[in-house]
Every structure is written in C-alpha cells, then in structure tokens.
Structure 1
Amino acid sequence: MNDALLALTPTLELPSVAREQALKKQTNISDYDFLLGWLYPEDELLPPNLALFSKTTGPVFIDFLGGKKNHRRQFGGGKGQPLARAVGIASDFTPKVIDATAGMGGDAFVFATLGCEVLMIERSPIVAALLQDALNRAHLELQLEAEGKTYRFDDDEHSFLTATISRMQLVNADAADYLNHTKPEADAIYLDPMYPEKKKKAATNKEMTALQGLVGPDIDSSKLLEAAMTVAKKRVAVKRPAKAEPIQLESGKKPSASIQSPNTRYDLYVVASTQS
C-alpha cells in the first residue's frame, strides 16, 4: 500500500484498498460506500492516480492532461462558450476567477485554459485530495516531459499545459466561511451547486454519480452566494438547470442577467460598484 495513501486515510476517514483488491473484489467492497486506492499506469515513470472506488461506479480519478478534460479543452468553444462568457472572459479581458464549488475541477480547468488565474475551493477533503493529486501528477508529468523522459505532447502543447496548470490553485475549505474570513481577490466568482437528484433523470457520468453520493446536495447555496457577492469585484455567476428558479436570497436580490445554453442557465449577479 502506498505510504501517501496510508497517511491520507486517517484524515479522510475512508478505508484504503489496493487497486487489485477493489477491481477483483478481493476486498468486500459492499461493506463500504467508498474506498480509496491507487491506480498504477503501465509506464513506471508516471505517478499513480489517487482514485475513489464505490459500489456503483468504477474507479474515479481526475486527470487534467487527458481524457474528457483534454477533449473539452480542445473542443469546448473557447472564449465564446457560455461558461466563459458567464465569468466575463472576453477578447480584451481575462478575469481572476474563484471556483467556489470546485468539484472534479472541470470548469476550473476550462477557465485556466482560457488564461484565468483560478482559485478552486472544495469543502470535501476527499474530493480535494483527488484534485490535489491531479495537480501534483500534472506538474510531475509535465516535468518528466520537459526532461525528455516521456514523449506525450509536442512543444506547443507542453508549453500551453504547463502554463495552464500553473494558473490553478486549491484550497480545502468551506467556501462561504473562506470567502467571508479571507476575502481573496477575484474579479468573478463561479458557483455550481450540487442539485438534489431527481427521481427520473438521464444517466449521469460516473464522476457525477460518485460526487453526488459522496457529498450530497448543497443545502446552503444562498449563504455561499451572499458571501460571494461581498468578495467578487465584478460579478458572481451561478450555474443552474435551464428551467430552475434562481437561488432565493433573503435580500430578495435577483440575477442581473442570464446566459442560456440548451440544458443550463448561468445567472449573473453584477456587483453594484461595477454597474453604471
């Protein structure tokens, strides 16, 4: 068993398991909702992935250099996509962004690929561990590439990814408390609250299934939105299902504007000091 995992396990309060045990069910995984383990790549130079195993999904880990995140980077629509417009990215302006509900890091990675300095805040210590492992692994893989020990990316792609990963930082904290007490600098704050599961729904990907099972729905979205509006210099963007009501605030404040996409809506709260 990897020493780093053994060190993490008491902190995360999850039982640890070797990859072979979890995949071959040599350990009775039904005794646990979730297990942590390491996935070792075929290339011995590359670091293992910290992965989350559950009863209902295969191993879930985060990879900023490949898979779905790399595909999204290449084909997501650039600065014209609704997500980018929601936080105010434009041809002549690149905001400093806080992703206060980082989750698996997909949206934060998009912001970073578009040039934004991004602070990810994730309150689940387990999900934060997966994110930190992904950042550590990306730094190491890119360093190995720079040293000529691996050959995965061409020079331009390597340079681009190195700059992208360097723009991403992570904090494991309750986002509302962190924003209220630390007051970090940000032009835009992005919120993507976890919604309660619907009884009838389309199949979700295994990342989302694991995340929903692990952390559950957000029940304090209004508290986080209020905190975000006291910190953001320009705007707060909240991702919502296309037909959902805006988050209800005690102040009664409504979104200043919205950006629509087929299944999603981004509610924008423009900070009063920036309005003309």
Structure 2
Amino acid sequence: MVTLRHLINAEEQDSLVSELAAELALEVVAQSEDELALRWSGERLSLHFPQQQQGDVFVDFVGGAMQYRVKHGGGFGQAVAKACGLSPRVLPKVLDMTAGLGRDGFVLASLGSEVTLVERQPIVHALLADGLKRASVSEEAQAIAQRLSLVKADASELALQPFEVVYLDPMFPERKKSAAVKKEMTAFHQLVGTDDDADILLTKALELASHRVVVKRPKGAPFLANRKPSQSLTGKSGRFDIYAIRSMAPGKFRSSDGE
C-alpha cells in the first residue's frame, strides 16, 4: 500500500484545496512530479503517477468512455444490468458496497435505478466525490447524478435499511502486468491494496440485500467465502456471481415510467 504525501495545486491555493488537505492529512505543494500524489488542477481532482506515461487517474462521468457506454453500451443488455436484474419495469434500489471509481454504479443509475455508492478509502472517495460534483452540474450527466448518493464508510460496518440489490466488486490480487490491466486498477493496487475482508463483505451484503447480492469476480477466481452462488453470468474475462434471495418479478419495483 502506498501513502500519498502531497496535494498538488498548480494555481493559487483556495478553500477547497485547504479543506481537502486538512481532511486527508496532505501537504500542499506547487509541483511534485516524482511522487504519487493527489492533484488539483482548478477544475478536477486526479491521482498523479510519477515517471509513468499512463496519465493521471480521475473520475469522469461527463464525457469520454462513460458517456459512450451510457449511450452505446447496450443498455439493459449489459452484463452488470442483467446480473442486478434491471429491466425497464424492474429498477431496484442498489447498494454498491465497493464503489471505487463508480463506473458500474453510474451505469445502473443511467438505466433508472437509485444507487448508493460506498467507498472507504479516503483518496478514492475524494476522487469519486469530485466526479459526482462535476456530473451534478453537467447537462449530459445531471439527471443520472441525481440518482446517485455517496457514503464514506467501511462497508463491513454499515448499519442501513435493506436494499433490494447489493453489488460487490472487491479488489483482488494484481495479475501479471499486461496491456489488459487498466491504469485505474494499477492505481488502486498501489494506493489501496486488496480487499482482504472480501468474504466478510459477502456476509454483510447478504444481510443487507432483500432480493439479491451480485459479486463481480475475475473469470477463474474462487467463489467468495467458498459459497456457491445461485447462478453466474460469465464473460470473456470476468463473471458475475448472483446470490438470489427472492424473485425480482415486474410490479414489485418502481418502473422507468413511474408505474
């Protein structure tokens, strides 16, 4: 696990930078190219990697890959939507216990579900909060952002009312380096490490879900807690393990047209 020391502010220090630095116990400096650092550009927050060409990591719900996925990713036909049981007439409230950069949660919200994002790592939470803030004032993403709420907490200690669907995507040990390993995943492994309590998170998820728990796993990974799911949806590189508790038949949830 890597600890950040700096919050970079390339321009004048403002109240946001001061508040973030105090909250995250970071030092504010003008430049720090040789260290892993959190960077504030005046417009967005990003994670900076020293001596790497991959570029900074930031949360972007407004443009690029996320908006393309929302518009052209397959809608309700996407694997994560199928696994969580979404359809035009079935839009459950979802708890994403390990939100990370929030991409799967944002996709579910784009289809109409209300999604609560939980993230315990302070730096990752700060990146996610910054992305949601920018999305909330964007014409392209504002309506979707209104269906998202963010909680900074350890998911294993949550005391919440049950959600219809609980989604879990724990960090797993890093694979050998390859072109397929995304820079965001490399960032997370450097900063966060792995979720060694993933089995405990599954137990907590099953306590919080009224209808189903969905666990995202690498294709060849063992089941969490050696607990066999009701079914699995397997893709080219990963799978979704589904732990069904009760039926998600149409008519039990809010539909996209409010029926």
Q: Give 1 or 2: higher helix fraction.
A: 1
Distance 1:274 1:83 in 2: 18
- The residue type equivalent to 1:172 in the other structure is K
The equivalent residue for 1:94 is: 91
Residue in structure 1 matching 2:65, options 64, 68, 87:
68
- Could you give the per-residue CA deviations for residues 220-254 of structure 1, whole angstroms, max 9, x where no partner exists? 001000000011010000011112111125xxx32
Q: Is 1:2 matched up with 2:14? A: yes
The 1:2/1:203 distance shift into structure 2, 3 A limit, reads farther
- The residue type equivalent to 2:176 in the other structure is K
Report the secondary structure of 2:163's partner residue. coil
The equivalent residue for 2:151 is: 171
- Could you give the per-residue CA deviations for residues 167-200 of structure 1, whole angstroms, max 9, x where no partner exists? 000001101101xxx2233110111111111235
Residues 101-180 of structure 1 correspond to what in structure 2 (within 5 A)?
Answer: 101-142=98-139, 158=140, 161-178=141-158
Report the secondary structure of 1:6's partner residue. helix
Residue in structure 2 matching 1:205, options 182, 202, 212:
182
Query: How big is the shift at 1:10?
Result: 2.7
**Range with bigger deviation, 132-141 or 8-17:** 8-17
Report the secondary structure of 2:129's partner residue. helix
Residue in structure 2 matching 1:257, options 212, 231, 237:
231
Distance 2:58 2:69 in 1: 17
Question: Relative CO higher for 1 or 2, CA cutoff 8 Å, sep ≥ 6?
Answer: 2
The equivalent residue for 1:228 is: 205
Distance 1:82 1:191 in 2: 14
Distance 1:90 1:118 in 2: 15
Q: Give 1 or 2: higher strand fraction.
A: 2
Residue in structure 2 matching 1:195, options 138, 149, 172:
172
Unmatched runs of 5 consecutive residues or more in structure 2? 1-12, 249-259
Report the secondary structure of 2:60's partner residue. coil
- Could you give the per-residue CA deviations for residues 41-77 of structure 1, whole angstroms, max 9, x where no partner exists? xxxxxxx101111224422211111111111112211
Q: Is the 8 A contact 1:16 1:36 kept in 2?
A: no
Q: Is the 8 A contact 1:37 1:52 kept in 2?
A: yes
The equivalent residue for 2:161 is: 184
- TM-score, structure 2 as length reference: 0.84
Task: Please identify runs of 4+ aligned residues in structure 1 that moved more than 4 A.
Answer: none
Percentage identity across paired residues of the two chains: 43
Distance 1:231 1:261 in 2: 27
Q: Is the 8 A contact 1:103 1:122 kept in 2?
A: yes
Number of positions where the alignment pairs a residue of Structure 1 with one of Structure 2: 235
Unmatched runs of 5 consecutive residues or more in structure 1? 22-26, 41-47, 143-157
The 1:76/1:141 distance shift into structure 2, 3 A limit, reads closer
